[in-house]
């Protein structure tokens, strides 16, 4: 059972990382380059950290709660709440200081740039789960 969750986590992390890197590169080329604060390594490591945390949480819920529907519901609710909580965390965080003058002038767009990427790991998890986890 853990193997299925592990591959779901790896697949979700990879899918969300690719989506976030494509999104950020499009944003960088069309508006402003925020890569000083959110480089590729930070984006990929954040996606992997969130997805692999979800793996361990989902596995733990399946061990503790024998009703599979209830454990999946709690896991999915927790993943959604964590994504929303990360949005609130970003909104409350201080703005970074950029050395790039263009990025510093566009600092008002930084949090708006980050927020969609906070949902990519959850979306990847919910997309791949029916494919990789069979009942």
Helix (H, G, I), strand (E, B) or coil at 14: helix
pLDDT in tens, 18-51: 999 999 999 888 888 888 888 899 999 999 999 9
- pLDDT above 90 for 103: no
Rg (Cα) of the chain, in Å, rounded?
17
pLDDT at 63: 94
Residue 130 CA to residue 12 CA, distance in Å, equals 12
Which band of pLDDT confidence, cut at 50, 70 and 90, is reported for residue 135? low
Domain boundaries, the chain: 2-132
């Amino acid at each position: 059972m853990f193997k299925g969750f592990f591959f779901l986590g790896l697949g979700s992390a990879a899918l969300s990382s690719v989506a976030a890197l494509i999104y950020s590169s499009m944003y960088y080329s069309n508006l402003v380059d925020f890569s000083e604060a959110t480089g590729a390594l930070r984006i990929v490591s954040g996606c992997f950290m969130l997805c692999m945390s979800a793996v361990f949480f989902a596995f733990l819920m399946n061990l503790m709660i024998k009703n599979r529907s209830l454990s999946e519901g709690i896991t999915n609710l927790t993943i959604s709440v964590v994504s929303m909580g990360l949005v609130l965390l970003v909104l409350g965080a201080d703005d970074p200081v950029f050395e790039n003058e263009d990025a510093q002038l566009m600092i008002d767009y930084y949090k708006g740039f980050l927020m969609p990427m906070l949902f990519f790991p959850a979306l990847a998890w919910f997309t791949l789960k029916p494919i990789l986890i069979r009942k």
